[in-house]
């Protein structure tokens, strides 16, 4: 199977598991012999986007820059994995149009669950108004309408979420199927196929 580049774009609120899942997926893809590069938003901000703030304009610029790099990597048959809150639909859609092979993963998690797992207490402070412009509290997060994968990180285990992502990549023929690694039942695979069919992929 000739491997082609693609981008996996993780979006979701702070603490929803984007980076953790991105690293888990990276490890599996590397084990399967693919070339992979992870662009984590926190790391990108200290290098590619140093100096940008957290206004809507600066956030949009940051996401466009990550999308630009993902597109370059994808065109050169590398798997690009982006993990960024990316709160605005319009900029995510720009990247979707720019990048030929694009898989969006929405890490869904409630504010209650995020507050409980937040060891730094940032959500609690934001909810009390002690931190301003906090995404999902007093700054918007626009949930995706058409993400290829939705993982409910407030309810699923990491293993379940990763398996759902990998299975979707297999069904889309971005990566070869490895039946031994299949942790899904026939019904669960049918659900993934139905979602991809609704989105017009299969």
Strand duo 79-83 + 36-40: pairing: parallel
Q: Which helix (H) or strand (E) holds 93?
A: helix 89-98
Are 143 and 108 a contacting pair, CB within 8 Å?
Answer: yes
In three-state secondary structure terms, 10 is strand
Q: How many Å apart are CA 202 and CA 181, to the nearest integer?
A: 22
Q: How many Å apart are CA 150 and CA 25, to the nearest integer?
A: 15
From 14, 16, 49, 86, the catalytic residue: 86
Active site residue 86: yes
Q: How many other β-carbons are positioned within 10 Å of the β-carbon of residue 82?
A: 28
DSSP 182: -
DSSP 6: E
- Active centre residues (catalytic): 86
């Amino acid at each position: 199977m000739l491997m082609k580049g693609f981008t996996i774009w993780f979006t979701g609120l702070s603490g929803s598991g984007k980076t953790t899942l991105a690293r888990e997926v990276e490890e599996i893809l590397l084990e399967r012999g693919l070339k992979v590069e992870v662009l984590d938003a926190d790391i990108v901000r200290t290098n590619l986007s140093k100096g940008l703030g957290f206004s809507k304009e600066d956030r949009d610029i940051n996401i466009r820059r990550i999308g630009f790099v993902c597109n370059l990597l994808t065109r050169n048959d590398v798997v690009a994995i982006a993990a960024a809150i990316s709160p605005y639909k319009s900029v995510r859609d720009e990247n979707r149009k720019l990048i030929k092979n694009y898989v969006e993963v929405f890490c869904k998690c409630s504010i209650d669950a995020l507050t409980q797992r937040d060891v730094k207490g940032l959500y609690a402070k934001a909810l009390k108004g002690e931190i301003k412009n906090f995404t999902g509290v007093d700054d918007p997060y626009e949930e995706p309408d058409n993400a290829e994968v939705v993982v409910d990180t407030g309810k699923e285990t990491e293993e379940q979420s990763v398996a759902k992502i990998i299975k979707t990549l297999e069904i889309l023929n971005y990566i070869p199927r490895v039946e031994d690694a299949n942790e899904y039942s026939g019904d669960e695979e049918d659900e993934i196929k139905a979602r991809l069919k609704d989105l017009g992929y299969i």
